[in-house]
Structure 1
């Protein structure tokens, strides 16, 4: 069995040795054996685990990658696979949403209403209803309003915010662009252009950029799957957390 030092693992990825130790401490790597003097002894299994973890970070982000690895190391292989499935579902939803918006803006006129056949009352939503629809918090909607992204009306009787069909469209576009990593200032410009002039050039550019990001993420997921498969192959069956 080939033994490795923390520095050996760190050097391959341009990390510090302390980062490698931290990853082991946090459960992202399997626990290392120690020498009589207390030094860690790593093996090719640990090297494969580190490659898998870093590939997962590129594909799913640090938090989810960490959860996947800790599940593997605490007997939760099925839970780890569920987390991976969740990431793939989210990517699929993002692709579908991207295509939906792309098709919609291809015919986006000035003063666009996403569903003019609906009555105003049917289209109206409260802040809580819209937040639930987008799976965000009401505070996020209020932050978007403060940034000029949303301009909901107020109910004259209660003073509560009322989101009409165009507001819902703007919120959905904002949610899409936030998922694409864009800042509120950029989103405000895009939404204002769509809202006031029906122009879609800025939005089309943003969607094209996000398309590239999704493609990059998809390729990273393929890379992560290979790395993770290699790591699991190196583990004995009893160490994979499989339940009978």
Structure 2
């Protein structure tokens, strides 16, 4: 196969094929005496696997996994993918928690909300809970998304359970790609009117994106498995990364 043959299947450029080989995302190609690359079904399978990994995990993870694989570090490649699955699970758990929080908000608006647990958290504790920085929380506060109280003696922020809930909502929506002003509007709507229609739509959209990502991971796993089988069956398979 020529670079154009691989590129045509995916609607990409021949330069992209050469770049993928150079970066270690594809195995090294053999060369003709005149220097032209010769690709095989092994390379075609590697390209299908790599592009499927990009769709499921993103360029960085896909690249790290394929370069590790071509350096004969299979466990490192699988670890990269494990991190992606772990993130998807965390997102699903967060979504479940936020849906529960929305139910609490709706119930609170009608006087039937769940009891609020006592206690307050610091900005550092909330940041650690969400896996973000305190500076991010302060940015959300400046954007009108959060409004934690202040300790009268120290002036430090005090995040009550409702504030933590709002931070979790904001975190999920940010992961879903929503802008800060949109998130602020959603939370204001819930606080003032108890209406969750807009938020429910956002959560449904994020749920669909999680489903799409999960299905993309299944596709990527199947194509990667096919590529690994071809590598194992090829006694003269290319190894290493391009120079």
Q: Quickly name the TM-score band, shorter chain normalised.
A: 0.7 to 0.9
In 1, are the aligned partners of 2:149 and 2:157 still within 8 Å (CA)? yes
1:46 aligns with 2:43: yes
Shift of the alpha carbon at 1:83? 2.1
1:5 aligns with 2:5: no
Q: TM-score with structure 1 length normalisation?
A: 0.87
User: Gapped runs of 5+ residues in structure 1?
Assistant: none
Give CA deviations for 1:16-67 in whole Å, capped at 9, x if unaligned.
1111111111111112222233222221111111110111111111111111
- Structure 1 residues 82-231: aligned runs within 5 Å: 82-108=79-105, 109-110=108-109, 116-119=115-118, 122=119, 124-231=120-227
Report the RMSD for the aligned CA atoms in angstroms. 2.5
**When the two structures are aligned, how many residues end up with a matched partner?**
235
- The answer to whether the 8 A contact 1:127-1:138 is kept is yes
Contact residue 33 and residue 40 of structure 1 kept, 8 A:
yes
**Number of the residue aligned with 1:57:** 54
Give unmatched runs, 5+ long, in structure 2: none
Secondary structure (helix, strand or coil) at the match of 1:151 reads: coil
Normalised to the residue count of structure 2, the TM-score between the two structures is 0.87
Q: Is the 8 A contact 2:27 2:238 kept in 1?
A: no
1:149 and 1:97 map into 2 onto residues whose CA distance is 18
Cα distance per residue 1:207-233 (max 9 Å; x no partner) = 111111111111111111111111111
